[in-house]
Structure 1
Amino acid sequence: MKTFDRENSVWARFSEEQRLEMEEYSKKYRHFLDTARTERLANKEIIRQAETAGFKPLHDYATLKAGDKVYWNQKGKSVILAVIGTEPVAQGMKIVGSHIDCPRLDLKAMPVAEKNGIVYFKTHYYGGLLKYQWVCLPLSLIGVVYTADGRRIDVSIGEDPDDPVFFINDLLPHLGKDQAAKKLSEAISGEMLMPLVGTNSEEEKTKPAVLELLKKKYGIEEEDFASAELEIIPAIKSRDVGLDRSMIMSHGHDDRVCSYGNLAAILTAHAGTKTQVALFADKEEIGSVGNTGVHSAFFPDFVAELLALQGHTEELWLRRTMRNSQVLSADVCAALDPVFADAYEETNAARLGYGICLCKYTGARGKAGSNDANAEFLSQVRQIFNAADVPWQIGELGKVDQGGGGTIAYIMADWGCDVVDCGVAMHSMHAPLEIVAKSDAYSGYLAYKAFFESK
């Protein structure tokens, strides 16, 4: 099969057997999407699948040998899986790094507010999103609350078909003269993103009645919201798109389409000479900050623990290991959308359905905030993909000076690793519901598996 082909789609290049494998993979991916709805739920599902495949917590090991399967759970919101290679860890690792957080709305610390007899949730949006896209959708509330006595309560409202949902109003067009005159970015402000919570009360005020419902169902007092992480996401599960069912619509493709490929790859790849590492990080959408983001020490700490179990406790060994390692930064890329063609430079734009996308650089303007992968590593990755019959393409994030964005690539390059962005191209990135092609999602899995198994 021709792996780099700008004339024929991946589906056209696939054999009938490969098309069936792609469909089976897509079913499993959709199940993951509908289960791993938040970063905490993704963490839980990844660990469940890893333990089923024989992975054990790193702290269960006193020494490490080739073929050992270990994982690191970073505060229930990030995960690392590793399969130990025949070579010492210090000789370098094959790392695929993806993220499991997504753009969403977070409830504020004191979220319950009443206006004219209507109770709302006050929210703060998370990540780079277009606020006007979040109105007039059915919404779910998912997360955790810790009560005054330290008891954890898991909350999920809107996911079950019999659950109520939440909803953010927009202005009716009959009264929209002033709104229509505003810039699109100003028509809906952040403080207007307030989901409807309730209206019924036998008292003068409605808020106490809503708080009483929360107390009866979950045992939550208003003060408990101060120690909670509650997220608003679309109450819509994944669906096939198109008469040919060639695409998938879902919340959270960015970056669960790469994360699932990463997970499936490390669970099915043959153990190799190099230690294989699958990183699933939190907080990428807000700059990889916090102690569950890649800017923190948890990933180098994990590598240091691996080295210690192989007899190397000095920091110099950690630095050598990172310099010897190679990374695919598995994050999504923008696919050319003909409806918005003016935002793309067509010659260098990725296309929906043409394979996993290699992005030499992301960043903005003059490559600011970019990793800018070196030609030597790109050459190695091309050879790996071509040898393994992985469909691939090149891409960039729109026209020069049009905008831009970043990934974890530059952070991991700071550790000395060779890194290139390698992710699934998609439409409607960061929207409440996003689109990927099944063939691209499957190509991502093939790419990450081939990379893990390479020498």
Structure 2
Amino acid sequence: MNKEDFNEGLIGFLNASPTPFHATKNMSMMFENAGFKRLIEKEKWELQEGQKYYVTRNDSSVIAFTYPKKEKNYVMVGAHTDSPNLKLKPNPIIKEHGVVKFGVEPYGGLLLNPWFDRDLSLAGKVSYLDANDEIQETLIDVKKSIATIPSLAIHLDEMANKERTVNKQTDISPVLTTDDDFEFDEFIKWQLSKLDILDVKALYASELSFYDTQDASFVGLHDDFIASARLDNLLSCYVGMLSICSVEADKPMLFIASDHEEVGSDSSSGAGGSFLENTLKRMFSDYDEYMNMIRTSILISADNAHAIHPNYPSKHDKEHAPKINAGVVIKINANQRYASNSTTISRFMNSASLLDEKLQNFVTRSDMGCGSTIGPITATRLGIETIDVGLPTLGMHSIRELCGRDDAHSLYKILVAFKN
């Protein structure tokens, strides 16, 4: 796939995936179109060699894999479906001072200031009781800009440009309407009715998140960049999804996109949970065969990397400061916050060099903290050789992030051609 088609598809995927639920649904549809057969965890599996399969958990994590007849030394690609956002509280309605507001809770380590004065919509999963007294679940996406978080005028905050702080409880409630008769349940039922779901006896629970309605787009004098919400880490999800859809069924490859990475991965559908291990043990029921597969495979953990910020270069180690559109980043940390080691780095470098693809190294400043990824978590749980890589990004964890138009396509080419 050429770079132009690749990036157009990326923008479409970003716009269609406002939550992990939507991202997982979109990837599942892509797998179906590429000939992958769906598996259900609670059912018995009858795997056939030479076929391709996918399975989801919690509607927010997905695994896709080939099942070759001969080789079993897998190239695994790991990413995560979640991004920092504002999640709706269970009892969200606040009516005061002439407006109706929504109570929200920050999810993950998000930059709060960029959420002010943006056009916001709402999406996620809703559970309800239908006319047959059965619990059903469905995804909704309001799409329309229904709320905003207005900034406090500078006349009322003389320190705004000096030391602006944000209180997570009182300062970030999105303003919805001046209609004091607004009822949340009726609003949700209205959204369900637009999906032709009319038999709602009772609304139960929901997992809904606000998102910026501005579409992903090319930015820059020569369209140098791609700007979008949720680049961390839908960018890697798209690359991993497209990579496994581009290889033949006889190449041992697996892709996993897990939820809840931004809050530590400790959940049934997170990388700290059992999803991947359960799947692999069903693929390889013989323990010796399973261990042989683990010790001959490699996991490529793909999560965005910090590009050097041109206005804050002192925040980076100048010898390990990746640039946008200068190649995929290998992430290294002596304290094992990243799982890369000399063995896995060498294998990745070799595969990239065969394609003439550029690589960069990232090491955080020794006097600054370092984020982590699913890489060390999965390596610890499975005992699989792992490398952490990423695509250079600016504005990470903001409501709108920035990446290069070249780097994701470069990683895609490396993954498709990777020789294990």
TM-score, normalization by structure 2 = 0.90
- 1:266 maps to 244
Structure 1 pair 194–87 and aligned structure 2 pair: CA distance change class (3 A):
same
Structure 1 pair 86–189 and aligned structure 2 pair: CA distance change class (3 A):
same
How far apart are residue 318 of structure 1 and its match?
A: 3.6
- 1:152 maps to 137
- 1:209 maps to 182
Using the alignment, how far apart are the partners of 1:271 and 1:147 within structure 2? Answer: 39
SS in 2 for 1:376: helix
Structure 1 pair 400–235 and aligned structure 2 pair: CA distance change class (3 A):
same
Structure 1 pair 212–55 and aligned structure 2 pair: CA distance change class (3 A):
closer
Amino acid across the alignment from 2:113:
Y
- 2:415 maps to 448
* 2:276 pairs with one of 279, 293, 299: 299
Amino acid across the alignment from 2:366:
V
RMSD over aligned CA atoms reads 2.3
Q: Is the 8 A contact 2:51 2:249 kept in 1?
A: no
How far apart are residue 148 of structure 1 and its match?
A: 4.8
How far apart are residue 276 of structure 1 and its match?
A: 0.5
- 2:197 maps to none
Q: Is the 8 A contact 1:349 1:394 kept in 2?
A: yes
Matches within 5 A, 1:127-142: 127-142=108-123
- 1:406 maps to 372
Using the alignment, how far apart are the partners of 1:345 and 1:380 within structure 2? Answer: 25
Matches within 5 A, 1:88-127: 89=72, 92-127=73-108
> Can you give the 5+ residue segments of structure 2 that lack an aligned partner in the other structure?
194-200
Structure 1 pair 256–216 and aligned structure 2 pair: CA distance change class (3 A):
closer
How far apart are residue 391 of structure 1 and its match?
A: 2.5
Q: Is the 8 A contact 1:109 1:225 kept in 2?
A: no
Using the alignment, how far apart are the partners of 2:277 and 2:371 within structure 1? Answer: 25
SS in 2 for 1:143: strand
Using the alignment, how far apart are the partners of 1:140 and 1:402 within structure 2? Answer: 35
Q: Is the 8 A contact 1:136 1:170 kept in 2?
A: yes
Amino acid across the alignment from 2:141:
S
* 2:227 pairs with one of 216, 237, 249: 249
Number of positions where the alignment pairs a residue of Structure 1 with one of Structure 2 = 405
Using the alignment, how far apart are the partners of 2:325 and 2:96 within structure 1? Answer: 47
How far apart are residue 88 of structure 1 and its match?
A: 5.1
Using the alignment, how far apart are the partners of 2:184 and 2:76 within structure 1? Answer: 46
- 2:352 maps to 385
How far apart are residue 416 of structure 1 and its match?
A: 1.0
* 1:79 pairs with one of 55, 62, 85: 62
Amino acid across the alignment from 1:338:
P
Amino acid across the alignment from 1:289:
D
Using the alignment, how far apart are the partners of 2:345 and 2:157 within structure 1? Answer: 51
Identity across aligned pairs (percent)? 24
Amino acid across the alignment from 1:68:
Q
How far apart are residue 47 of structure 1 and its match?
A: 0.8
Structure 1 pair 212–52 and aligned structure 2 pair: CA distance change class (3 A):
closer
More deviation, 76-85/141-150: 141-150
How far apart are residue 322 of structure 1 and its match?
A: 2.3
Using the alignment, how far apart are the partners of 1:153 and 1:382 within structure 2? Answer: 43
* 1:62 pairs with one of 46, 52, 60: 46
Using the alignment, how far apart are the partners of 1:179 and 1:324 within structure 2? Answer: 55
> Can you give the 5+ residue segments of structure 1 that lack an aligned partner in the other structure?
1-17, 201-205, 362-366
Matched, 1:276 2:243: no
Structure 1 pair 372–155 and aligned structure 2 pair: CA distance change class (3 A):
closer
Matches within 5 A, 1:428-439: 428-439=395-406
TM-score, normalization by structure 1 = 0.83
Q: Is the 8 A contact 1:123 1:191 kept in 2?
A: no
